[in-house]
């Protein structure tokens, strides 16, 4: 089942969700793990390059994901959540989508403003931003702050899914991870 049904997400939405989740977990982990190594060490540079690659992958995944999301009706949650819960879920989801677009852009901007050539698995990306060392530092700070916001929203998203599954006992989590239910 490619498309969403009234009761569960389809294969494409699930693939976008879980691939994005994996890429976000990897990129956040790499950002933290690299700090365990000395600056300019081979291991730290390698981890940083993987962080950049996965950041670009997140950006490339989220654009078609948003298009797919807008073109497919969401499966209903049973029992129906309150209007406030629905509103909060939409705010968190759309904020995460926005952050998955702008955080990699700020990462690319900070690198290119610092005169770095950015590659996606050894394929050089076009220079989209001018060199400005002072701006590079400021943009990097924004990028890191956005990354921290992503981390907290991902944790809130996971906590909410588990809360719904174990405490509320609705089908919020099973719509994305359980067996697919046709209409």
- 166, with CB counted inside 10 A (0-12, 13-18, 19+), is exposed
Secondary structure (H, E, C), 114-134: CCCCCEECCEECCCCCCCCHH
Q: How confident is the model at residue 179 (pLDDT cuts 50, 70, 90)?
A: confident
Instruction: For residue 3, give both structure tokens.
Output: 């498309």
Tokens read off for 111: 């690198």
pTM: 0.93
Instruction: Work out the pLDDT band at 181, boundaries 50, 70, 90.
Output: confident
Kindly list the distances between the CA atom of residue 43 and the CA atoms of 9, 111, 112, 125, 156, in Å, as whole numbers in the listed order: 39, 19, 22, 23, 31
DSSP E strand boundaries for 72-181: 119-120, 123-124
**pLDDT over 80 (residue 44):** yes
């Amino acid at each position: 089942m490619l498309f969403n049904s009234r009761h569960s997400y389809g294969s494409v939405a699930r693939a976008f969700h879980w691939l994005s989740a994996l890429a976000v977990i990897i990129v956040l982990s790499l950002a933290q793990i690299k700090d365990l190594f000395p600056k300019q060490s081979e291991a730290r540079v390698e981890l940083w390059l993987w962080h950049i690659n996965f950041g670009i992958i997140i950006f490339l995944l989220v654009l078609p994901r948003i298009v797919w999301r807008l073109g497919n009706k969401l499966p209903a949650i049973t029992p129906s959540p309150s209007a406030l819960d629905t509103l909060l879920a939409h705010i968190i989801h759309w904020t995460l989508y926005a952050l998955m677009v702008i955080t990699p852009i700020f990462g690319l901007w900070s690198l290119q403003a610092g005169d770095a050539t950015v590659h996606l698995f050894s394929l050089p990306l076009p220079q989209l931003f001018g060199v400005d060392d002072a701006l590079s530092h400021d943009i990097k700070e924004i990028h890191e702050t956005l990354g921290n916001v992503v981390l907290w929203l991902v944790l809130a998203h996971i906590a909410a899914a588990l809360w719904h599954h174990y405490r509320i006992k609705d089908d919020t989590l099973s719509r994305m991870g359980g067996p697919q239910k046709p209409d």
